[in-house]
């Protein structure tokens, strides 16, 4: 009986972990190419349709370390939602840089949600435009359930400067 219960728990954990359709790649009729769609993570961005340039873009971005130090205490309790299009030039430019900043901040990725949208701005998950996204990338900052602000498409100044504006300094 004990082994059966353990087996059920293991299978339940497996289903919860792998039942989610993370890092899904689909053919987008409008873009006429493969794109990511739905929930994804940094590993998916590194290894799927962005694999040819992601590492280079991530590693070539030089974060403003003075602002990183100032941002660290401001990031406490912050949750971030990123909506992006793997077909979008602005997403290709800003998302790897943003994730590099989060790495430097030692941001807990448990507080990060990344949603890839197709050219119709559909994630395939909700069946609607998530978080009223009209342009990608969009970086949405929350404290609890309260939206603090957004970086839409391109930052005002650098990503770090725009993050400072949103988070209050």
58 in any annotated domain: yes
Q: Please write down the long-range contacts of 149-153, taking CB distance under 8 Å and 24 or more positions apart.
A: 151/94, 153/90
Q: By the 8 A CB rule, do 77 and 44 touch?
A: no
Q: Phi/psi at 167 (nearest 5 deg)?
A: -90, 0
99 in any annotated domain: yes
Q: What is the pLDDT of residue 124?
A: 85
DSSP 27: E
9 in any annotated domain: no
DSSP 69-136: HHHGGGGTTEEEEEEE-TT-HHHHHHHHHHHHHHHHTT--GGGEEEEE--TTS--SSSSS-GGG--SS
Chain segment 25-76, per-residue pLDDT in tens: 999 998 899 999 999 999 999 999 998 889 999 999 999 999 999 999 999 9
CATH of the domain at 151: 3.40.30.10
72 in any annotated domain: yes
Domain count, the chain: 1
Owning domain of residue 130: 22-167
Chain segment 65-116, per-residue pLDDT in tens: 999 999 999 999 999 999 999 999 999 999 999 999 999 999 999 999 999 9
15 in any annotated domain: no
């Amino acid at each position: 009986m004990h082994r059966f219960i353990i087996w059920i728990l293991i299978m339940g954990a497996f289903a919860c972990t792998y039942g989610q359709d993370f890092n899904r790649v689909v053919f987008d009729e409008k873009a006429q190419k493969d794109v990511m769609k739905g929930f994804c993570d940094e590993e998916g961005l590194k290894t799927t349709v962005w694999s040819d340039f992601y590492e280079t873009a991530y590693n070539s971005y030089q974060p403003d370390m003075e602002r990183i130090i100032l941002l660290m205490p401001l990031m406490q309790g912050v949750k971030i939602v990123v909506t992006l299009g793997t077909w979008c030039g602005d997403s290709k430019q800003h998302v790897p840089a943003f994730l590099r900043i989060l790495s430097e901040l030692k941001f807990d990725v448990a507080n990060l949600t990344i949603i890839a949208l197709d050219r119709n701005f559909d994630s395939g998950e909700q069946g609607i435009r998530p978080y009223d996204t009209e342009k990608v990338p969009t970086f949405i900052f929350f404290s609890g359930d309260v939206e603090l602000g957004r970086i839409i498409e391109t930052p005002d100044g650098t990503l770090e400067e725009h993050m400072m504006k949103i988070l209050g300094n």
